Amino acid sequence: MKTLLRVGIAGLGRAGQGMQPSELAAFPDLFRITAGCDVDASRRANLPPPFADATLHADFDHLLADPNVDVVSIATRHADHTPMAIRALDAGRYVVVEKPCALHTVQMDALLAAARRHPDHLFLRLNRRFEAPFQKVLQLMRGGLLGTVNQIKLYRMVGYCRRNDWMTVSSQGGGLFMNWGPHLVDQALQMLESPVVDCWADIRNVISIGDGDDHIKILLRARNGRVADIELSGATTLSGHEIEIRGSRGTLIYPVDGKIKMRFVDPDFAFRPLQAHAGQPPLQYGNFEEHPTFVEQLVDVPAIPGGEIWRRIHASIVRGEAFPVTLEQGAEVIRIIEQAYVASGFKPATAFLGPGKRPATAAS
């Protein structure tokens, strides 16, 4: 197969003309934007430089019929992602679909069925799987210095804003959880390293003008006992750490001055067997029978391009390399999001579940 892949972007909004073109432009030898599509004429005007040689379409069918398009990227409104991705797959295109790839598990099942008809043609744009801080934290967590990991916290504050666009309207698939949730749920599932068996959720609308959610708290417990604490808010004026990892020998937090901070028991220090005492303790608090030493480290975040996911997509299409984000992993993200909505009782979530809805259950 040829090396240069021609991309047509459907939906020329914030993602379609703001995020994806700049990412693709970082790989000029791998990708070229040759087409764009939007029903809104104003969105087809005054596009950024990566669209300089692109053919612009008002009709999605025309984009699918464009002979100069190899890859179709779906960057439309959330409610359109699944049906448009299925149409593009059935048209024989390679397809990249923005998050959320589906609004509920019924849609996800339909998308998976289409992907089975067209093997190795569907790519889920969970691009924050490749974020440099996340990748480095995952490496450090698995390195053993923190001991047995028992708790993970993922936190994102996206600003304090009484948002009032379609992204806040549940009938359009809006809400902060549908917007940011797929990223953090995907990261949490990677860090849990075991199937989720329990989900607790509090999802609410605090200040958003639309009826969608803007403040989310999710607790996921995995079969291995590890817990992921996910917090998202568009109604917070002060931010916390984006990542916290707590283990039996230490703790990790990010960011601290743009770096990852770790504090852990010195690897050379061995805990010796001790017995608990039921008698009267000393007045001072603590265990005076041992004196562990601690190590503190500030770890640099590696340089990983923001569009790394596109390089992985190219490697999969052109060289047949396995794409790291599997369809099964994407389906589990959607299942967890649906389960969280059901568990929370957040009313507008019924708009996501649609006809034939089925409440999600924990993995067996």
Q: Which of 154, 218, 140, 228 is nearest to 192 (CA)?
A: 228
- Position 112 scores a pLDDT of 99
Q: What SS3 string covers the chain? A: CCCCEEEEEECCCHHHHHHHHHHHHCCCCCEEEEEEECCCHHHHCCCCHHHCCCEEECCHHHHHHCCCCCEEEECCCHHHHHHHHHHHHHCCCEEEEECCCCCCHHHHHHHHHHHHHCCCCEEEECHHHHCHHHHHHHHHHHCCCCCCEEEEEEEEECCCCCCCCHHHCHHHCCCHHHHHHHHHHHHHHHHHCCCEEEEEEEEECCCCCCCCCCEEEEEEEECCCCEEEEEEECCCCCCCCCEEEEECCEEEEEEECCEEEEEEECCCCCCCCCCCCCCCCCCCCCCCCCCCCEEEEEECCCCCCCCHHHHHHHHHHHHCCCCCCCHHHHHHHHHHHHHHHHHHCCHHHHHHHCCCCCCCCCCC
- Position 362 scores a pLDDT of 37
Question: Mind listing the pLDDT tens digit for each residue in 334-363?
Answer: 999 999 999 999 976 655 665 555 544 433
Unique residue bearing structure tokens 């040829």? 2
Considering the domain 5-127+307-321 in this protein, what is its CATH number? 3.40.50.720
Q: How far is CA 285 from CA 206, 215, 281, 282, 288, in A?
A: 41, 38, 9, 7, 9
Token pair for residue 309? 């996911």
Domain range summary for the chain, segments of one domain joined by +: 5-127+307-321
- Position 116 scores a pLDDT of 98
Question: What angle, rounded to 10 degrees, do the helices at 105-117 and 327-344 form?
Answer: 170
Q: Which of 184, 194, 225, 129 is nearest to 337 (CA)?
A: 184
- Position 211 scores a pLDDT of 93
Residue type, 312: R
How many CB atoms lie under 10 A from the CB of residue 19?
17
Distance of CA 9 to the CA centre of its chain: 20
- Position 348 scores a pLDDT of 67
Percent of the chain surpassing pLDDT 70: 95
Q: Which of 209, 146, 140, 202 is nearest to 174 (CA)?
A: 209
Positions of the chain with pLDDT lower than 70, given as ranges: 1, 288, 348-364
Rounded to an integer, what distance in angstroms lies between the CA atom of residue 165 and that of residue 94? Answer: 30
